[in-house]
Structure 1
Amino acid sequence: MSKKEELPPTYECATASTTNNRKPSDSATTIECGAVIMDDVQKEPQKFMEPVYKFVGIKKQPSTKELGTLILLGTMLLLFMISVTGFFVMWFTQYYDNSYVSKLILANNSAAAKYWVDPPVDTYLKVHIFNYTNIDRYLSGEDAKIKVEDLGPYTYQEHSTKTNVKFNANNTVTYNDHHSYIFLPDKSVGDRFQNVIVPNIPLLSASVSVDKMSFFQKFTASHAINALNLDAFLEVPIDDFIWGYSDKLINVLRNFMPELRPKFGMLMNRNGTSPDTLQIHTGVDDVQKLGVISQFNGMDQLNFWRDDECNRIDGSDGSQFPPYLMEERKPLHVFTQALCRKLPLHFEEEVTILKEIDVWRYRTPMNVFANPDDNPENACYCDASSVKCLPSGIFNGTQCYQAPIYPSFPHFFSGDPVLFEEFEGIEPNAEKHRTFADIHPRLAFPVDGASRIQINIAVHKGQILERKLKQMPDGLMLPVLWIEITSGELSEELRTLLYHSTFSANVIQIILKYGTLLTCVTSFALIVLGFYYLGQMRQEKLQADSKDKSELEELNKD
């Protein structure tokens, strides 16, 4: 070549050897390594930001204002994404409420489990006895109707604990209830040692059992019982009738059935440890199953009733309800050991208790004990051996008690009038005799309420009682007593929990819900304004560049 071509400079990292041996005539230009590295580092952020610049329409190195606006936009975008997530969680999920309910999970050795085993709040057991004031005159034909007198309440402080507690690997816990009682004279009406005239429950029960025996057994048993010369009604102190008294018939029967307890009392089995074993979900694996019964006496389904639906036991034990059912005020179910069945509770209204705590009031529906003609869901509770079902207002508990026991609401409330047309003194009253529960809507456990049930025994004359009860219709339901279990005095600790779960939690929830909503709107608006501002600056810069270019072209023409 006649003319030497100019070659682009070659950059090398200078080392000690290259620096010492370099000649001034070398065509390669050698620079320091540090300079190359620094130059690359300066170019990296630019390469990283190039997609951002391209997205917002910046083709050249941004100005300081544009860069500041971009940083603000990035911050607002991050805030917007966080606030949208928070908005979705607070408005469309139960995460916030579940965070409170999770404190109630019955994990082994947790504070919640300790309170559940030995609750700090006692309940009140109120007992009403029906005193048959004219039964002799009625049986002799002198009076046309039976006169009963509702005596009570005889009030006891009930302390309930859990015994034989075992936490299982499948996130359930097994236990037995234990109850102890202290009589409270200041909350009672009348003398608990007063004598009353009541149905002879052991004799009325034996009448049914004897008639189911073979001919020879029936002949032997009926003669043995008749030899005792027992009356169908007896006079006994109220306290003995509730908690236990010695009975001649039971003493005889124990010779054949030694497993029988030496005394009989209407609530005797309630005092002490219950023979029934319950297993409930702890909520550890799923808080929505908290408190739901999984087994009763080792069975995951009963075998008392006609179909699987009535034999289901997956209700609550009454101390805690599944939180998800509270979301839409859905019906709740309580498995009642005394009835061997579930009872529904339906939302009725919002009420305020303790002057400041808002709760949801649930009640048992009026048709819970209705005849299947009025409530088809009760068809499976009818006695399979019976031609027709019972009148509305009474429940067949014979399978559960192995005795002619028929529970109802107190004073046959909501029942067919045929149930009490033979009586004077039966006065159904919704306010006094209906069951209700006031449930905290967030924590899903009862804060107040009253569980009310009446025990009745059916008259079965048979071979033993035919002559003794000649005047009385066969199958007549005799009211025996009714009980009411109400909430006791709440501890200061529980009041504080309820207060914070109602007020503090609500305030925080409102702040988070509307705070995330406001943050979403504000950050979105700032993002829009930021892009608008960038566009305006870019437009002004383009106009300025265009003006400069025009002026330069004019000068070149001159």
Structure 2
Amino acid sequence: MSKMESEEMIPTVKIGAREENAGSKVNGKEKNSLDGATLLTCDDDRADYKHWSTRNNSIFKEKKDLEKNKKKKKVKYICKIVCGVILIVLSILGFIYPIRDFMIWDKLNMRPGFPNFDWWAEPPLTTKVKSYLFNVTNHERFLLGLDDKINVQEIGPIVYMEHVVFTNIRFTPNDTLTYRPQRELIFYPELSEYGLNDTVILPNSALLGLTSMLSGSENYFRRMGFKMLLKLYPNNFFVKRTIHQVLWDYRESLMEGTKNFAPGSVNSTNMGFLNKTYELMQNQVTVKIGPRWGHENFFRIYDYEDLPQLTGYDMDTCLDNAINATEGILFPHYLKKTDVPLFFSKSICRLMPLVFDEERKEGSLTLYRYNFSKTAFDNKVDVPEGCQNDELLLPSGIKDGSKCYTGFPMVLSLPHFNGANITPDLYVTGLTPDSERHSLGYYDIEPLTGIPLHLRVRVQCNLWVHDITDLYSWKFNKFANLVLPLVWFEFSQEELPSYITNFLYFVVIGLPIVSNLLATVLLLGGCYLLLKQTDRKKISIGTKQVFKSLRK
């Protein structure tokens, strides 16, 4: 092999990106030529590797970004589908369970700080109290025997506004609310026909009432002692008093003497009619609240002065007790026309059924008018023992209320004995019963919330004089077995403040509109999201199929 050939066959070894000679010495010229070629080759390889590496990294990054975007799109797609389904479910729930129902349900709890509680705890000045007195015009002629019957003349109205605040409020573990009302009456002279200093003549309630009450005593010594007591005090069968005294501060010396003689027989020496009426309406009351009792039992009385029934009533035999009735401040929710709510006031001393009469409109609101039953003051011969005194068989339409007046012979009726099973002049003359003006009254109630917007309640207080002919002197005989009308009251609420009625409009009328609108928007939004994602899925699938067909 020639020298030139041997030189051309010199092997090389690659180290990294370079090639180096592994032979021995060559002439300088050839070596330089060879080294230049070798260096050129190494630079090209290095550039190719760098280009390949950059391209490979770029492809890898693009692929990674593509997969990442694909995952993001998939997550976004799933989120939109889930959101669409949630919106549709919420809209369906909104149609089935309106927001209004949730607000009424929450009202069951009577949460402090919320409007329902605050407006109840300190209600606005809306209740008007009208008093009408029966002035006796012929007391002298009656006592002289010139007139057979007492003649009366209606005096009134004397108008007050009632301000009530509920105190000692406490929530109990058994989902009840206990409170004690405090009522104050404010005289409105501009609405009254008479002033408080005007005078009237009335039968002496202390003399005739105590005589009747003690005449039935089985204690012989008590009866005899009271007879002797009567001789110590003047027997004025009629008294002249100012209207203020009659309503608020009616006192007789005989009452003081009887309280000292028989302390248990007299509870109070003040016989003012309004004073006594409002004294009876300050008892502690516990009512049912909360979801435990449900809408149908909301604000029904749970107990009265910590007792399950009024003192003197047998709960097993007499239905005239306060349990499950309402004081008329709030009524159960979702009232129906077939419901018969029970109204109770201790001053009336019995349950008063309310019967649906008609629907009425108050703007956009629909109200249910419930009238008091026409038989509310009826006395029947089959009334269970304990509901009324058996010996006091009063005519139908006149109700014994002595149990709520500590035995004092007070009986109740409609004004002017309206609706009673008697002629108007059976006991006295001068009465003119009117079926409209002297009806028992009504409640206009918004049926969903049980809030009364208008009310009117009328009741007459009468003195029942028992048969006292065998016990006392002939002077008492003229009054025996008489029912003497003394006073009648009208309690009314003509309207509520605008902020309450506006809130009621919003809850009853506005909320359903807002609820339906919101549910509709949610439904449309949910359907839009679902349809949009479904269309995109179809487009994506269609595009892939087109590309596959083009590739083929």
Query: Structure 2 length as normaliser, TM-score?
Result: 0.73
The question of 1:331 aligning with 2:335 is answered no
CA 1:158 to 1:79, structure 2 compared with 1: closer, same or farther past 3 Å?
closer
Partner residue in 2 for 1:26 = none
AA matched with 1:237: T
AA matched with 1:394: I
Partner residue in 2 for 1:89 = 97
AA matched with 1:88: I
Partner residue in 2 for 1:118 = 122
Residue 276 of structure 1 aligns to a residue whose secondary structure is coil
Does the 8 A contact of 1:101 with 1:443 survive in 2? no
Does the 8 A contact of 2:280 with 2:347 survive in 1? no
Distance across 2 between alignment mates of 1:381 and 1:514: 57
Residue 417 of structure 1 aligns to a residue whose secondary structure is coil
Partner residue in 2 for 1:468 = 475
The question of 1:300 aligning with 2:308 is answered yes
Does the 8 A contact of 1:232 with 1:468 survive in 2? no
Distance across 2 between alignment mates of 1:179 and 1:311: 22
Distance across 2 between alignment mates of 1:291 and 1:188: 34
Matches within 5 A, 1:533-552: none
Distance across 1 between alignment mates of 2:271 and 2:471: 20
Does the 8 A contact of 2:100 with 2:511 survive in 1? no
Does the 8 A contact of 1:283 with 1:291 survive in 2? no
**Which of 345, 352, 357 is 1:343 aligned to?**
352
Deviation at residue 470 of structure 1 after TM alignment: 2.8
CA 1:280 to 1:74, structure 2 compared with 1: closer, same or farther past 3 Å?
closer
CA 1:106 to 1:83, structure 2 compared with 1: closer, same or farther past 3 Å?
closer
**Deviations 1:141-178 (CA, angstroms, capped at 9, x unpaired):** 43344321111011112211223333333333323222
**Deviations 1:22-59 (CA, angstroms, capped at 9, x unpaired):** xxxxxxxxx99x98xx89x979x99xx9xxxxxxxxxx
**Which of 257, 265, 273 is 1:266 aligned to?**
273
The question of 1:411 aligning with 2:420 is answered no
**Which of 176, 180, 187 is 1:172 aligned to?**
176
Task: Tell me the percent identity.
Answer: 25
Partner residue in 1 for 2:504 = 501
AA matched with 2:433: P
**Which of 235, 247, 254 is 1:249 aligned to?**
254
Partner residue in 1 for 2:456 = 450
Deviation at residue 112 of structure 1 after TM alignment: 4.3
AA matched with 1:456: N
Partner residue in 2 for 1:106 = 110
AA matched with 2:327: D
Distance across 2 between alignment mates of 1:206 and 1:178: 29
Distance across 2 between alignment mates of 1:501 and 1:274: 28
Partner residue in 2 for 1:277 = 284
CA 1:527 to 1:383, structure 2 compared with 1: closer, same or farther past 3 Å?
same
Matches within 5 A, 1:128-527: 128-211=132-215, 212-257=217-262, 260-270=267-277, 276-283=283-290, 288=295, 289-302=297-310, 304-305=312-313, 307-308=315-316, 309-324=319-334, 326-327=335-336, 330-353=339-362, 358-372=366-380, 382-383=387-388, 385-386=390-391, 389-401=393-405, 402-418=407-423, 420-433=425-438, 434-462=440-468, 463=470, 467-472=474-479, 474-487=480-493, 490=496, 494-502=497-505, 505-510=508-513, 512-513=515-516
Out of 133-142 and 195-204, give the one that drifted further: 133-142
Does the 8 A contact of 2:461 with 2:488 survive in 1? yes
Distance across 1 between alignment mates of 2:473 and 2:459: 29
Does the 8 A contact of 1:313 with 1:342 survive in 2? no
Partner residue in 2 for 1:59 = none
CA 1:352 to 1:295, structure 2 compared with 1: closer, same or farther past 3 Å?
same
Larger radius of gyration: 2
Deviation at residue 313 of structure 1 after TM alignment: 1.6
Deviation at residue 455 of structure 1 after TM alignment: 0.6
CA 1:356 to 1:79, structure 2 compared with 1: closer, same or farther past 3 Å?
closer
CA 1:180 to 1:201, structure 2 compared with 1: closer, same or farther past 3 Å?
same
CA 1:192 to 1:72, structure 2 compared with 1: closer, same or farther past 3 Å?
closer
Does the 8 A contact of 2:165 with 2:183 survive in 1? yes
Residue 431 of structure 1 aligns to a residue whose secondary structure is coil
Does the 8 A contact of 2:111 with 2:117 survive in 1? yes
Deviation at residue 360 of structure 1 after TM alignment: 2.5
Distance across 2 between alignment mates of 1:265 and 1:281: 33
Deviation at residue 247 of structure 1 after TM alignment: 0.9
Structure 2 spans left out of the alignment, 5+ residues: 1-55
Deviation at residue 464 of structure 1 after TM alignment: 5.3
Query: Structure 1 length as normaliser, TM-score?
Result: 0.72
Distance across 1 between alignment mates of 2:241 and 2:452: 36
Does the 8 A contact of 1:383 with 1:396 survive in 2? yes
Residue 412 of structure 2 aligns to a residue whose secondary structure is coil
AA matched with 2:457: S
Partner residue in 2 for 1:19 = none
Residue 477 of structure 2 aligns to a residue whose secondary structure is coil
**Deviations 1:402-452 (CA, angstroms, capped at 9, x unpaired):** 111111121122221246433322222232222212223333222221221
Distance across 1 between alignment mates of 2:110 and 2:84: 42
Distance across 1 between alignment mates of 2:279 and 2:387: 32
Residue 421 of structure 1 aligns to a residue whose secondary structure is coil
Deviation at residue 267 of structure 1 after TM alignment: 2.1
Deviation at residue 480 of structure 1 after TM alignment: 0.9
Does the 8 A contact of 1:357 with 1:499 survive in 2? no
CA 1:71 to 1:385, structure 2 compared with 1: closer, same or farther past 3 Å?
closer
**Deviations 1:471-515 (CA, angstroms, capped at 9, x unpaired):** 45x43221110111122764xxx4133124225751441453487
AA matched with 2:251: S
Number of residue equivalences = 485
CA 1:478 to 1:79, structure 2 compared with 1: closer, same or farther past 3 Å?
same
CA 1:420 to 1:185, structure 2 compared with 1: closer, same or farther past 3 Å?
same
CA 1:219 to 1:519, structure 2 compared with 1: closer, same or farther past 3 Å?
same
